[in-house]
Amino acid sequence: MAKSTKRIAVTGEAGPNYWHVDDMPWEDIEGRTGHQFSESDREEIRAIASQALAQYDVAVDSPSASEVEALRKEIIQHSKDIVAIAKKYRTPEGLPLIKGGELMNSRNEAVFLGLALSSNDPSFSLTEQLIDAAAACEDLVTDLSKIRIEQHETALKPDVVLLAWFIGLSVQGANQSPARASVGHLNKPTAFEHRRWGLHLSGKTGDLPVFCSAIFQRKFSQNQVQHAFVVARELGLIERQE
């Protein structure tokens, strides 16, 4: 299975895309497939190719899972530091730390008051802001500690994402029939053939390698197409057959 650095899919910077029907290399596409497409077919193909390219851009620009995890840990640590500072100088109610009727640490209290009184802004309250910040930071620590980055990471290469989305969206609107070579195709078929736009859009045989190679101007093999079908099913783009 083709894999790369584990990443977290987010919005990506838009790259070259087929914004208009005429943007696509139709002469090459029709030359390689040996099929002339109608205007409506061309628009459908363009729309699907455009969506697949958008997903490709997301895959290319997505940050690595390790970067995202590093930020999570950094925020948690700094939040804990703020909470620790607040607890060192004030109670949750914002009062000085007192034990037995006396300050627990008179030096700490002097330092805290020195900072609090150093502002020229009469509306500034170090105690209030620090207590509020500590409460918010406690929530950050709690919520960020629940996040499991590995549940959202993917190791799929951008080209795999591109192919899977194009194939998945194309198959969604295709005519489906039992594959003649599949076991049990006369009873309950386990494999299917898909046809759309006058092309055979199936995994093991058909026009997809040439079709996709011409559309995206890069080489795709039959093995890559087969793998893309698997990925498209994992992504929920193609219905799984029981």
Spell out the alpha helix ranges (H) of 148-221. Answer: 158-172, 208-216
Give the model confidence (pLDDT) of 191-214 as tens digits. 678 999 999 998 888 899 999 999
Q: Which pLDDT score, from 0 to 100, does residue 132 have?
A: 96
Give the model confidence (pLDDT) of 120-169 as tens digits. 999 999 999 999 999 999 999 999 999 887 766 666 788 888 999 999 99
One-letter amino acid of 37: F
Q: Which of 233, 241, 242 is nearest to 168 (CA)?
A: 233
Mean pLDDT calculated for residue range 181-187: 53
* pLDDT-wise least confident of 60-74, 80-94, 181-195: 181-195
Q: How far apart are CA 92 and CA 23, in angstroms?
A: 63
* pLDDT-wise least confident of 8-17, 133-142, 215-224: 8-17
59, 156 Cβ separation under 8 angstroms: yes
Q: How far apart are CA 30 and CA 49, in angstroms?
A: 15
pLDDT-derived band of residue 1, with 50, 70 and 90 as boundaries? very low
Buried b (16+ CB within 10 A) or exposed e, 171-209: beebebebbeeeeebeeebebbbbebbebebbbeebbbb
Q: How far apart are CA 56 and CA 81, in angstroms?
A: 39
Q: How far apart are CA 92 and CA 143, in angstroms?
A: 20
